Structure 1
């Protein structure tokens, strides 16, 4: 009989404890050992393949290869077989030889460059055509096109042009369209260049302040016509005939002065082996011996192609230079702002006392954004890509810094640098080997989106699972459903395999590719399930769009770079375990004594003047905006006015209790539309209409200014100001309406929003629809949309009653000549015929046409389910980030309008916004007023808007209330014209005592009609009585009656 072994509980506990100790010791030993590793790697560069993504450009090249147009999908592109004639010399013509058409401000211009030399060029603005003749092309074939140009001061966005070849531009017909050799030539970008406006300085809290970015305008640039999306590595090829050819640039956005335009032969880059052989033959056989590596700080970059590439602070490692445990020290550059293809950063290495020769180049950098992927950079030495392998330098994912030396997988590359002078080293963000997979996924998105819209045109958005909609098979009502699924699934499988091959590992980045592939193959096997899975199918298509955004995130943080003769001499990439731990402990305890609420500024000379300014955060604004304000205060306001500013960033809810307690600010920025009048009723806020400059700032002749004889109430100071280049202030009339109370004005406009229509041009063009100009045309379009089971969007409050008036109803009311109130704002005006008609029409869209009460316009606009809708114009910001796959596929349009009895189209729309106010408790009211008018001026608002975009990109475009500042922002001419026209027709909604009951009860009436099919007129009349009762009550409460 076997004997049982009994294990004592104490033994088990000891064994577990021992195991835990062993694991603990092993874990920390590993960490400590790893922390002493140098963490040096090579960039694993290699010779890139010539990769041309599928699409219009590839088809163009296939046609030039000789493949028949009806067989393009049957044959691969053979790049080597393309006819690319060699030129003995580039053929170049001067910019001043241009002819122009439909141009605004085009013509010869003289520019003094950075060397003091006067250069003749041809100025092109943001609208019009400029054409050059390229003479004497000896042989027809494919060539590269390049420009020599100066960027001109404008909105600060990249310069955008379209290139037409041998098209005869009609000077008499501005509406005529012309053929591009391929679509991609319609979206070309040419870089601007920026540098720090000054050195990095410290604020009053000893934090480093980010220097403002200053554009470099006096330096000539050379750029080839190339892919703005980054999918294609090499410059574009265009086809020229033998003899004379014309090249026409159509302006789309921003201004540039063209010194020359030319063509060049396509030339393949030499390999690294050929490069080293070249310099070996010149006598440079060994790497130059240096006493010590030359270190260049990342934040000391001399120029960059985007203002978002500013110096940043990194506190993840104590070996950063400079560094502090809690304070902001700007010690690196790039980060998650350095992602867009074409974005370049340039550093300067001083070799004035060193010999010419071969040197190694290394970067202390990290890519900690895209796990499982690497970031790719193209390397330039003195503005030239030295050899083919320099096109692809990999920076793999790592949570810590690495010292990355440029080289292949086995050895570092030695670069030739000239001695006795300063050399430049540049890194340019590029998609590299990820370009083709991303392009393929974009093609799949377009393919599946088109199929999805064709399916829901048959099934609707909520199909019955029991009905056979004939989505496939012989009698299919939708063409090539299963074939499209098969094609898309095969491409996604290929992309997933390619990503794994490129990255060398399987990561979460291929999960959505596999999910969509599985769903597609499953629907092929079970086609009757298609209608049941449309919702998840649509979501997966959107997820593919997000995948593209994620993989495009080619982020890279550079703390420093080295030029060295021996990479073994370079220091460790990170501090060791003990140094890092001690750094973290000190930071933890110091954080309890550091004021994170206060935003530091630069103190002025002690004049005894100081004000406290609060910036109120919201859903879309926060500390980044406050930091931008701090920079502007330090750079301009404090210097100009000699007034110190104590800036704090707080939540909006803090203002009221602080004001009641007497601890509030002197000035508050970004207060909600209804707050100024609400506080004015309680005597907590200043009436600013009595300050002498009020008329100059607002164009309104207030009663107090009129009494002083400063203005005439009969004049309108706003007339003509929009075209005055010296004018600082201009607001449309709607901007000040919400801030007027009892004859005074209690705020100045900070931001202003208004409604416009958003239209998916690709869907409208494919179906031959026209954009509606009136509400009657909207009703007709809704019928067309419903045939395809698509929708028109009108914004409605998400749920419940709200005090904010619905802007669609307000727009309809104003278009009919109605108003919100009458009798000096003492009672509601909703019982008039104009208001009743507006309310009926508004409700009818939901009762008769089944408009959704709750829907994500952003999502549905992205998928195309709602190809047209009305929203605030700053939805642009969200679309820029959230839906990059539909960029260039949508546009703005004015609000639908109503014809009046004079047959005039009235498309007024309601406006909203935020304000800047002065609290009643402000001690130095003159200084507070100086700050307010400085803040709303054209120069300050322009600088603030550009500063925000330099930090956060186009997604943070500021919806300034200053019209002159708005015109300085990087809108295209077409966008600006539409937005200014609609803005000018916007109407402000007055704020009155008890006015919150207007929005609330209007919403209640609307919900009752839509949910219970109640009579609109009778229902609105019921709620008018409640509105009037509340207005009367509040007027008595505040002693107005």
Structure 2
């Protein structure tokens, strides 16, 4: 096989060179039925698709710099329009003018996907303007709680002037429901956020905190059109086009302050956790055990500080109110912890009474420190700033910003794009195989390749300079940049050797791209804020040596005396054991206390189950909970076979409850006439593809497996490949019309033409079409680019969204390829895996347990639970609920949601029967015999059928379905799912 691949790679390389050299040697397009070694033509990439800039537009920083070079000046006049004065709209049914919360002439803009409104504004003079909106968040009284910002895009005269205008956010404001309550162990319970319902005036700015000041637009005198597009409901009070605000420096401002100092030297102290508001529920209180953290933890979990990794995203703002006893000059200090990324600074925009008092606070730097430290706001030379406060109440806010790193991030994007183009060039030249015996004339035949590496090196050098300037010290990110620069210099010394470094350049793309993930995070933890009269002594802000020793010793002792994690059974309440992390458990307990118990009058105790196998031991000991959650999908039938679970289909409203689940999702929970679980989460499989690479090769996203066969030659001759999980047999059997078991559920149903066809298609992908048999991480290969297309699941989607920022805008998803049917439809059957909840048969509260399980899997609860998880913890906690109604209301991008719902029609799992665990084992063995050992596919599958049927017979005899002579005493009679779920239709884009 290796010799075959070397020959194919050599052929591919020759053909690739012919294509790159000119159009005269393009091979003829082949047929899908032929082997994957045959080639197909490479089409030219569509125009305007070479760079990320051409796709999404320039960055705001680039446009603003161009305006500056052209000498554009700030405007001097403000134009204000009432919210109701829209000039055009996409759907009149979704807008309504009138009054709202004390304001007249407002616009109630209801939700609708891709709904837009337009305003026409008459500009009196050429100049630079800012745009401000007065708005009020809107929630339908009958609707669910929404905590995410109102996301809009803004086009000016039909175009986006810069890419950041595609996503601007109108943030909500919240406050924590204080004082903090405590649980039965004496630990603090995280307070629930409550939205502050009031009118907000916000000047549009970067939602990711990439710029310290609001966006500007250059507008010429005359009429202009502002088009807002969005999907979230909001009430717009007014739209103002206004001059930019100029912020002076500290020396200028301080000269204008009165000279008087407060006579009273009393320090005003406020606790950081007692926020007056925050604009993101993800900003969370955190426990801290430092001896000086107030209140002192004393061995318990006390929410005595704010932030850290719970306050690290650009644009997140926290605010406090305070009162000074007399007018005068004050200094501002705080206990801060900034120890999250070694030697990396973080930044905050600091406002007093709603305004940044001087430019030095636009992006105030908090340097790295491994411990709590006292931070006194001041100049880089450590001279404290003085602020003048009149007697009375004031506010202070701090907003996370990554503005000092923004230019570094932009240059990183450019460097990655240049490296990516170079990588694709090299793969096109070499066919993806490094041949050190081949001599190249790169500068003569491929002059663009060294130029791309020169561009990447230049951008990396700018990155390194900008990083050191912003961070003020060396760190690991700077070291990564400098290493990449040196490597590129070495490659460019001998351009003809560049193709030998294909893997090095590919790894460099990943390393440089991963820097953005670090740069966009800005974590900071606060304990207390101090307002100190000028001339007064500073409070103690750092614990001394003996205080730390004493605190550490006490915490060590408490670790032996205070146990909190042991799951226990309380007969007076509903006991729920959850096999998930503590964040999930705590949130479910809070949600049950807030919503379930008041409505149903049933007290619930949610316990953390650290190991799912403890359920087996607990059941044997008679200590089972009432309800178990977060269980694998095969666990319920394992318990049901042993008469340990409650048959949920006995409840009269079972059919009504299951309407929001795909019929194929319920198959694993069926056993002997009953259903023993309900799904909580449901993963999905979709086709992931790299837009840049497919565009460059002129390839379309495949719809059927025939399309995949057609595109494989073009992929492989350019050094790429298609990815299919080698163990995913279910997709190919189901798509070819096979069923795994007979209708009575007593043996396999694989001895059929459809099953043999599915098995052959599955193994042919690796035997004939040369797909990789073992891929440790599709995510890594997809990110690197050598697998630009492949079938993967929900976890890959989340990982790409969180951990591959350099690919933002460059990847997409589509329904998985399928098999075309006689009626023209494409069968896309696939599974994904689920987590489930079930009720134990020995529960003393069967009715209450069912009410809880129904409440949990309902659309309202699933949406609330999923929204809170993601709001508090980020997209990496996105909840892939099995309830389709709730799924459509979570913040999925509309195009991705459309794809997932299409695939949801074809969701189908394998039933769970006595002995059926042998099915996966034997089909895997059959695959190995056919693909690895070269055995005939039919003989191999027949052997798997015999072995699986034998094991199923043995288990059926054990559970009393078959007697000792093999006579069937009682059949299992499986439910049938033959057609895609039409129930999806009612949830599409509602």
Q: TM-score range by the shorter chain?
A: 0.7 to 0.9
Higher deviation after alignment, 819-828 or 253-262:
253-262
Q: Deviations over 1:594-628 (max 9, x none)?
A: 21414899x9xxxx7323322114xxxx2222222
Look up the match of 1:629: 588
Question: What's 2:744 paired with?
Answer: 824
Match of 2:32 in 1: none
Report the alpha carbon displacement of residue 927 of structure 1 after superposing the two structures with TM.
Answer: 3.1
TM alignment of 1:872-883, pairs within 5 A? 872-883=793-804
Distance 2:692 2:91 in 1: 27
Match of 2:235 in 1: 257
CA displacement at 1:428 relative to structure 2: 0.6
Match in the other structure for 2:488:
520
| Aligned counterparts of 2:178 and 2:233: Cα–Cα separation in 1 | 25
Matches within 5 A, 1:133-172: 133-153=119-139, 156-167=147-158
For residue 560 of structure 1, report the CA deviation from its aligned partner.
1.4
Say if 2:175 and 2:276, in contact at 8 Å, map to a contact too: yes
- Please, which of 421, 432, 450 is the counterpart of residue 421 of structure 2? 450
* Aligned twin of 2:220: 241
Alpha-carbon offset, residue 206 of structure 1: 0.8
Map of 2:968 onto structure 1: none
Contact 1:758 1:869 survives alignment (8 Å): yes
| 1:466/1:651 CA distance change after superposition, 3 Å | same
> Would you say the 8 A contact 2:421–2:452 is kept in 1?
no
State the SS of the aligned residue for 1:866: coil
Aligned mates of 2:63, 2:887 — CA distance in 1: 45
The answer on 1:93 being equivalent to 2:81 is yes
Q: CA deviation at 1:662?
A: 2.7
SS at match of 1:999: helix
Structure 2 gap segments, 5+ residues each? 1-51, 140-144, 963-990
Which residue, out of 664, 673, 676, partners 1:743? 673
Contact 2:443 2:496 in 1 (8 A): no
Query: What displacement does 1:103 show?
Result: 4.4
The CA distance in 2 between the partners of 1:889 and 1:992, in whole Å, is 43
Residue aligned with 2:351, SS? strand
| Residue number among 64, 71, 79 corresponding to 2:68 in the alignment | 79
State the partner residue of 2:579: 616
- TM-score (ref. length: structure 2): 0.86
Q: In structure 2, what is the Cα distance between the partners aligned to 1:912 and 1:413?
A: 57
Match of 1:298 among 243, 252, 272: 272
- How far off its partner does 1:300 sit? 0.8
CA contact (8 A) 1:793 1:866 kept: yes
1:461–1:661 Cα change, 3 Å: farther
Secondary structure of 1:330's match? Answer: coil
1:484 corresponds to which residue? 452
The answer to whether the 8 Å contact 2:585/2:606 transfers is no
Q: Does 1:384 align with 2:381?
A: no
Q: Does the Cα contact within 8 Å between 1:444 and 1:488 map onto a contact in 2?
A: yes
Q: Which residue of 1 aligns with 2:603?
A: 643
Query: 2:260: which partner in 1?
Result: 286
Between the aligned partners of 2:466 and 2:233, the Cα distance in structure 1 is 40
1:61 Cα deviation after fit:
8.3
Is this contact kept in 2: 1:623–1:649, CA < 8 A? no
Q: What corresponds to 2:30 in structure 1?
A: none
Q: Which residue of 2 aligns with 1:414?
A: 386
CA-CA distance at 1:774 after TM superposition: 1.9
1:319 is matched with: 292
Alpha-carbon spacing, 1:514–1:165, altered in 2? closer, same or farther (3 Å): same
Q: Which residue of 2 aligns with 1:674?
A: 634
CA-CA distance at 1:579 after TM superposition? 2.0
Aligned partner of residue 512 in structure 1, secondary structure: helix
Alignment of 1:524-539 (within 5 A): 524-539=492-507
Contact (CA 8 Å) 1:254, 1:970: kept in 2 or not? no
State the distance in 2 between where 1:958 and 1:341 align: 23
User: Which of 286, 306, 309 is the aligned partner of 1:336?
Assistant: 309
Counterpart of 2:211?
232
SS of match in other structure, 2:259:
coil
Is 1:795 matched up with 2:725? Answer: yes
Aligned to 2:550: 582
Structure 1: segments with no counterpart, 5+ residues: 1-52, 65-75, 168-178, 699-717, 719-729, 798-805
Instruction: Work out whether residues 155 and 971 of structure 1, in 8 Å CA contact, stay in contact via their aligned partners in 2.
Output: no
Q: CA deviation at 1:106?
A: 2.6
Deviations 1:690-743 (A, max 9, x none): 234433422xxxxxxxxxxxxxxxxxxx3xxxxxxxxxxx22222322111000
Match of 1:200 in 2: 180
Contact 1:298/1:333 (8 A) holds in 2: yes
Tell me the distance in 2 between the aligned counterparts of 1:972 and 1:552: 21
- Residue of structure 2 in register with 1:562 after alignment: 530
Shift in Å at residue 141 of structure 1? 4.0
Counterpart in 1 of 2:913? 992
1:670 and 1:458 map into 2 onto residues whose CA distance is 49
C-alpha separation between the residues in 1 aligned to 2:92 and 2:796? 29
- Rounded to whole Å, the distance in 1 between the matches of 2:428 and 2:194 is 51
CA contact (8 A) 1:93 1:134 kept: no
How far is the alpha carbon of 1:509 from its aligned partner? 2.9
- Is residue 132 from structure 1 mapped to residue 102 from structure 2 by the alignment? no
Q: Are 1:273 and 2:259 an aligned pair?
A: no
Kindly state the Cα deviation for residue 227 of structure 1 after the two structures are TM-superposed: 3.1
1:1035 is displaced (CA, Å) by: 1.0
1:1007 maps to what in 2?
A: 928
Contact 1:370 1:551 in 2 (8 A): no
User: Are the structure 2 counterparts of residues 980 and 1005 from structure 1 closer, same or farther at C-alpha, using a change threshold of 3 Å?
Assistant: same
Distance 1:783 1:125 in 2: 46
Structure 2 residue 434 is the aligned partner of structure 1 residue 463 = yes
The correspondence of residues 917-936 of structure 1 with structure 2, limited to 5 A, is 917-936=838-857
Aligned length: 902
Q: Which residue number corresponds to residue 496 of structure 1?
A: 464
Q: CA 1:442 to 1:260, structure 2 compared with 1: closer, same or farther past 3 Å?
A: same
Pairwise CA distance, 1:148: 2.3
Q: 1:524-923, aligned counterparts within 5 Å? A: 524-566=492-534, 568-598=536-566, 609-617=572-580, 622-640=581-599, 641-645=601-605, 647-698=607-658, 718=659, 730-797=660-727, 806=728, 809-855=729-775, 856-923=777-844
Q: CA RMSD in A?
A: 2.7
- Corresponding residue number in structure 2 for 1:505: 473
Which of 267, 270, 284 is equivalent to 1:310? 284
Are the counterparts in 2 of residues 365 and 404 from structure 1 also a CA contact under 8 Å?
Answer: yes
Task: Using the TM superposition, give the Cα deviation of residue 768 of structure 1 relative to its aligned residue in structure 2, in angstroms.
Answer: 3.8
TM-score, structure 1 normalization: 0.82
Post-superposition offset of 1:288: 3.5
Q: Point out the more displaced range, 734-743 or 140-149.
A: 140-149
**Is the alpha carbon distance of 1:922 and 1:124 closer, same or farther for their aligned partners in structure 2, counting shifts above 3 Å?**
closer
Distance 1:965 1:292 in 2: 53
Q: What are the Cα deviations for residues 559-614 of structure 1, in whole angstroms up to 9, with x where unaligned? A: 1112221475332112222222111111111211221414899x9xxxx7323322
Distance 1:513 1:1015 in 2: 52
Moved more, 440-449 or 568-577: 568-577
CA distance in 2, matches of 1:865, 1:159: 38
What whole-Å deviation, never above 9, does each CA across 1:343-368 have from its counterpart, x for those lacking one?
Answer: 111111135xx345543222211101
Aligned counterparts of 2:653 and 2:535: Cα–Cα separation in 1: 64
Matches of 1:378 and 1:463, distance apart in 2: 50
Deviates more, 1:980-989 or 1:155-164: 155-164
Structure 1 counterpart of 2:405: 434
Residue 978 of structure 1 is matched in structure 2 by 899
Change (3 A) 1:104 1:112: closer
Aligned twin of 2:396: 425
CA distance in 1, matches of 2:93, 2:246: 39
Deviation at 1:946, TM superposition (A): 2.2
